[in-house]
């Protein structure tokens, strides 16, 4: 299960640092996060049906690869080196304000359109956590910035290595689509995992209400709510891409982006359904627990009601009035059948009360 709670804590810390560093700072100033991972570049040149990959390369080597290939995918993992981020922005003509959004990793998913490129921010699920993905795509290039190693792009890399025709022959917009599609599709297993867990809880809640952990349902509901905050703006960002009228976005690729938006719509619907289901299960758990408590209280009340008259009789006969002084003092205490008669009277009272309770369907 994705640990979105830990992400929220880190996000609050980053937001606090950002507020402190932003006081008096000019727009577009890049401030490194002290906890950011070390920056590392990977460049992949595509075109001609064969990919050329440079792992751990320099920016100059990546730019040289761009000259040799039809399109370039430059991936920067880790944001500790803000100077490298700045130089990448200068090399590809990226606006300083977008670079500021890259290093301040508490951005809401969005898409901003510029003349020569589009800037897309997404929340990417990676391993047991989530991170901000900043993606730029324009004519002949795709640039991605990740917070740390580990991403959702392995399916795209495998397709590139296999020589997938569309990835090699298509434009950079199709490569951007493939990457964004991989990020969105990575939500499906997580959402499905929540759905399967909710189904299991729903079955267990009727078998043994005590076996269901309400804190787990609350945690699941919070995670679904967090994913909702990621998915809804992601859907809006895809809508911005679909409305783009730029030469670097072809009509054919626009259809593929529409398919990604459809996937995002499905995720939003599933997420909302599961979130409401989790809330309903919490209410159901409370209702069943209250009903069970009422049953216990009802049983205890019946037992108490039966023993109240019995206790009264036992207390009455326990008073120390001397029967030798008067026949009215403690009747039956001197009779050889006094004890059996007293027990019989108590049993008759208890039996009569049980019959009354059964007739009224209280037991």
| 149 & 242 share domain | yes
Q: What are the structure tokens assigned to 249, written together?
A: 């976005």
pLDDT at 22: 54
Q: Report the alpha-carbon distance of residue 71 to residue 168 in Å, rounded.
A: 9
| 250 & 354 share domain | no
Per residue in 343-354, pLDDT (tens digit) is 888 899 888 888
pLDDT at 317: 75
Nearest to 139 by CA among 169, 113, 171, 96: 171
pLDDT value at 210 more than 80 = no
| 88 & 127 share domain | yes
Q: Bridge-partner residues for 146, per DSSP? A: 77, 133
Q: Is residue 242 part of a domain?
A: yes
| 343 & 195 share domain | no
| 24 & 156 share domain | yes
Q: Report the alpha-carbon distance of residue 20 to residue 95 in Å, rounded.
A: 23
pLDDT at 65: 96
Q: What is the mean pLDDT of residues 94-116?
A: 94
| 44 & 172 share domain | yes
| 242 & 333 share domain | no
Domain final residue, candidates 242, 271, 288: 288
Domain that holds residue 339: 318-359
| 272 & 342 share domain | no
Q: Is residue 297 part of a domain?
A: no
pLDDT at 20: 40
pLDDT value at 44 more than 80 = yes
| 348 & 269 share domain | no
* Percentage of residues of the chain with pLDDT beyond 90: 53
φ, ψ dihedrals at 77, nearest 5°: -105, 120
* Overall domain count for the chain: 2
Q: Is residue 161 part of a domain?
A: yes
Q: Is residue 298 part of a domain?
A: no
Domain final residue, candidates 288, 308, 327: 288
Per DSSP, the residues of 273-288 read HHHHHHHHHHHHHHHH
What are the C-alpha distances in Å from 264 to residues 46, 239, 271? 28, 11, 10
pLDDT at 16: 46
| 276 & 154 share domain | yes
Per residue in 123-146, pLDDT (tens digit) is 998 666 789 999 999 999 999 999
| 97 & 224 share domain | yes
Q: Which of 4-13, 191-200, 205-214, 215-224 has the lowest mean pLDDT?
A: 4-13
Per residue in 293-304, pLDDT (tens digit) is 888 888 888 888
Q: Which of 23-37, 41-55, 67-81, 287-301 has the lowest mean pLDDT?
A: 23-37
**Among positive and negative, which fits the CA dihedral 119, 122, 124, 129?**
positive
pLDDT value at 325 more than 80 = no
| 197 & 334 share domain | no
324 CB burial (10 A radius; 0-12, 13-18, 19+): exposed
On whether the CB atoms of residues 151 and 179 are closer than 8 A, the answer is no
Q: What is the CATH number of the domain that holds 145?
A: 3.30.460.20
On whether the CB atoms of residues 111 and 240 are closer than 8 A, the answer is yes
């Amino acid at each position: 299960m994705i640990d979105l709670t830990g992400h929220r804590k880190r996000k609050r810390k980053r937001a606090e640092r950002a507020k402190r560093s932003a006081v008096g700072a000019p727009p577009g100033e890049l401030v490194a996060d002290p906890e950011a991972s070390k920056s590392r570049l990977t460049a992949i040149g595509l075109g001609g049906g064969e990919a050329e990959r440079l792992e751990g390369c320099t920016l100059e080597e990546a730019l040289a690869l761009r000259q040799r290939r039809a399109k370039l995918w430059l991936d920067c993992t880790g944001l500790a080196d803000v100077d490298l981020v700045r130089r990448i922005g200068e090399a590809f003509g990226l606006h300083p304000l977008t670079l500021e959004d890259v290093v301040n990793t508490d951005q809401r998913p969005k898409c901003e359109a510029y003349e020569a490129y589009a800037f897309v921010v997404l929340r990417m699920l990676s391993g047991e956590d989530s991170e901000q993905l900043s993606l730029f795509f324009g004519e002949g290039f795709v640039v991605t910035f990740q917070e740390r190693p580990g991403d959702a792009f392995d399916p795209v890399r495998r397709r590139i290595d296999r020589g997938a025709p569309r990835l090699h022959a298509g434009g950079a917009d199709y490569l951007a689509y493939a990457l964004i599609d991989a990020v969105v599709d990575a939500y499906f297993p997580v959402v499905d995992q929540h759905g399967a867990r909710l189904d299991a809880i729903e079955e267990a809640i009727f078998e043994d209400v005590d076996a269901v952990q309400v804190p787990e349902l609350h945690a699941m509901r919070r995670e679904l709510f967090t994913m909702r905050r990621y998915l809804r703006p992601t859907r809006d960002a895809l809508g911005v891409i679909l409305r783009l009228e730029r030469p670097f976005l072809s009509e054919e690729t626009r259809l593929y982006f529409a398919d990604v938006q459809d996937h995002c719509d499905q995720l939003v619907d599933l997420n909302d359904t599961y979130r409401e289901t989790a809330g309903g299960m919490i209410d159901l758990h409370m209702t069943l627990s209250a009903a069970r408590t009422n049953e216990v209280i009802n049983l205890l009340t019946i037992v108490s009601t039966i023993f109240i008259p019995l206790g009264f009789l036992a207390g009455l006969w326990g008073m120390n009035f001397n029967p030798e002084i008067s026949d009215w003092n403690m009747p039956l205490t001197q009779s050889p059948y006094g004890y059996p008669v007293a027990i019989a009277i108590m049993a008759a009272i208890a039996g009569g009360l049980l019959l009354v309770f059964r007739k009224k369907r209280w037991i």
